[in-house]
Structure 1
Amino acid sequence: MTAAAGPVRIGLQLQPQHADYGALREAVAAAEEMGVDVLFTWDHFFPLNGDPDGKHFECWTVLAAWAEQTSRVEIGALVTCNSYRNPQLLADMARTIDHISAGRLILGLGAGWFERDYAEYGYPFGTAGSRLDDFAAALPLIEERLDKLNPPPTRHVPVLIGGGGEKKTLRLVARHADIWHSFEQGEALAHKLDVLREHCEREGRDVGDIEISVGVGGRGRDGRQPEAPEIEGAPLYDLGARLFSMGAGGPAYDIGFVQPWLDWRDAMNGG
């Protein structure tokens, strides 16, 4: 299954861990200057690698700061944990940052998984199934609240859903998402895309309307350095991926590894 043709975009997740905020601010400025298309943060309360009690900053207040600091790059969470905020409040937060950023927010959403966040902040952890059920219930509430707000969002706020569960998550992608994010590669990604196509057919939706986003490594959570885009990106592109995301964590945000991907993007997009 190949998604509809669309431009290649490069996303960079600047993980808000192990750094002073000033270093994160400088990395945001550098990434926008380089020409990154989308800047992501993540929605956790503690680092995911390195010192588990290291420095860390909260997702949506970071996004508000980025909305003011930047002028071109899209911004979002990869991804917001549904469990941490009332869904209608989250919709209002998203609408507000959409306005602050003049229409550059991507609303990244997921069911949640990091148990320490739940335990330390007092959220019921439940099970993977119950968190997905809660997520399914929240998505229509978010959509309804976005439609009721005054002023309304400046545009249709693109919804990104992360995760690859075939029975529940991909069905929610088919029903609600503008972007689907996965870390799958090769045959595994091809299989997930076939499952997504089947869900889209049942929902009466064109799968080509969903942008396919794939994580390709970086420096941070998993420490995997991305391969050269001609090696790693090209096969994913052939499967339908158009948004390629990589990560960088603190204390020093070394993001030079993104440049070959930006050059590849420009070549693929004819410019």
Structure 2
Amino acid sequence: MTNTTTRPIRIGVQIAPQHSTYTQIRDTLTSLEELGVDIAFNWDHFYPLSGDPAGLHFEGWSMLAAWAEQTSTIEFGPLVTCNTYRNPDLLADMARTVDHISAKTPGAEGRLIFGIGSGWFERDYDEYGYEFGTVGQRLDALAESLPRIEARWAKLTPPPTRDIPVLIGGGGEKKTLRIVAKHADIWHSFADTETLERKLGILRSHCDEIGRDFSEIEISTGTRPHTPGNFDTTDLEAQVELGASLFTLGITGPDIDLSPIADLLAWRDAKNA
């Protein structure tokens, strides 16, 4: 299945807020903006996801407010925020506020991308006192929260500076992709090319069922070097043919390595030329 809609290729980098001082994270973000990365992401967890489980870690949304003030051109957001960690109306207000912080001049648009998912990291829930529940319950909660978030954005004074792009992460075929079809501007997965093709077919079916134009949804996927510092663009090209246009590389401390990013940016620039 080939997607006939052509979007510019964009490169995202997820700075894992773990195993680094905040000074390192701040300096890394500066470097990403100077390099010309399109989007900087963090994540919404309370403990490291890899390495020492007792290692350094920082909370995501307060960090995003700092990123909004620090940067001037790069878009940014959580990949992804956990829906059930916060009241959805409060979360909408937080996002609206960060959106305004990132708008540097009167009348300018903000740069926040509102990434959200149903949540999965049980340790976060257990240690912070949230009810973990089941996968189905968490997905049902996400489906209930998104209309509330959208409604709250419409009520806030001042409203967001723009229609904040909603990125939904996850690949569940019955529930998640239907939520994507209803609410997402961007769908993110870490699927390989074969899996991505199958899931795009399912997403298209959900869009057809609810009357949504499938081409309105930007397709985002995670990527990584096949060997250190070396990207095999064969997979990237195949995913572009399927319609993917946003490719995100994850980096983490303690030794943050920016060397693979230059290859990705060079490939982006060649594709967009």
TM-score, with structure 2 as normaliser: 0.95
- 1:180 and 2:187 are equivalent in the alignment: yes
Measure the CA separation in 1 of the matches of 2:185 and 2:100.
Answer: 19
Q: CA offsets per residue over residues 74-102 of structure 1, 9 Å max, x none? A: 00000000010000000000000100111
Measure the CA separation in 2 of the matches of 1:198 and 1:231.
Answer: 27
**What is the Cα deviation at residue 230 of structure 1?**
2.3
**What is the Cα deviation at residue 170 of structure 1?**
0.2
Aligned to 1:107: 114
Paired residues of 1:16 and 1:42 also in contact (CA < 8 A): yes
1:6 to 1:88, Cα distance in 2 relative to 1, 3 A: same
Aligned to 2:171: 164
% identity of equivalent residues: 59
Aligned to 1:85: 86
Measure the CA separation in 2 of the matches of 1:127 and 1:208.
Answer: 32
Q: CA offsets per residue over residues 160-213 of structure 1, 9 Å max, x none? A: 000000100000000000000011112111000000000000111111110000
Q: What is the correspondence of 1:1-271 to structure 2 with a 5 Å cutoff?
A: 1=1, 2=3, 4-102=5-103, 103-217=110-224, 228=231, 230-270=233-273
One-letter amino acid matched to 1:78: L
**What is the Cα deviation at residue 256 of structure 1?**
1.4
Measure the CA separation in 1 of the matches of 2:218 and 2:141.
Answer: 24
Measure the CA separation in 2 of the matches of 1:3 and 1:13.
Answer: 28
Q: Structure 1: which 5+ runs fail to align?
A: none
Measure the CA separation in 2 of the matches of 1:237 and 1:93.
Answer: 33
Measure the CA separation in 2 of the matches of 1:3 and 1:227.
Answer: 29
One-letter amino acid matched to 1:265: R
Measure the CA separation in 2 of the matches of 1:240 and 1:226.
Answer: 25
**What is the Cα deviation at residue 51 of structure 1?**
0.3
**What is the Cα deviation at residue 251 of structure 1?**
1.7
**What is the Cα deviation at residue 49 of structure 1?**
0.5
SS in 1 for 2:50: coil
**What is the Cα deviation at residue 259 of structure 1?**
0.7
One-letter amino acid matched to 1:268: K
1:3 to 1:244, Cα distance in 2 relative to 1, 3 A: farther
Q: Structure 2: which 5+ runs fail to align?
A: 104-109
**What is the Cα deviation at residue 45 of structure 1?**
0.3
Measure the CA separation in 2 of the matches of 1:147 and 1:140.
Answer: 11
SS in 2 for 1:105: coil
Q: CA offsets per residue over residues 121-163 of structure 1, 9 Å max, x none? A: 0000000010001111101000000000000000000000000
**What is the Cα deviation at residue 233 of structure 1?**
1.1
Measure the CA separation in 1 of the matches of 2:73 and 2:143.
Answer: 32
One-letter amino acid matched to 2:187: W
Measure the CA separation in 1 of the matches of 2:44 and 2:160.
Answer: 22
One-letter amino acid matched to 2:59: E
Measure the CA separation in 1 of the matches of 2:94 and 2:233.
Answer: 38
One-letter amino acid matched to 1:206: D
Measure the CA separation in 2 of the matches of 1:252 and 1:142.
Answer: 37
TM-score, with structure 1 as normaliser: 0.96
**What is the Cα deviation at residue 231 of structure 1?**
2.2
Measure the CA separation in 2 of the matches of 1:239 and 1:24.
Answer: 33
Measure the CA separation in 1 of the matches of 2:147 and 2:229.
Answer: 36
Measure the CA separation in 2 of the matches of 1:227 and 1:194.
Answer: 30
Q: Relative contact order, CA 8 A, sep 6+: which one is greater?
A: 1
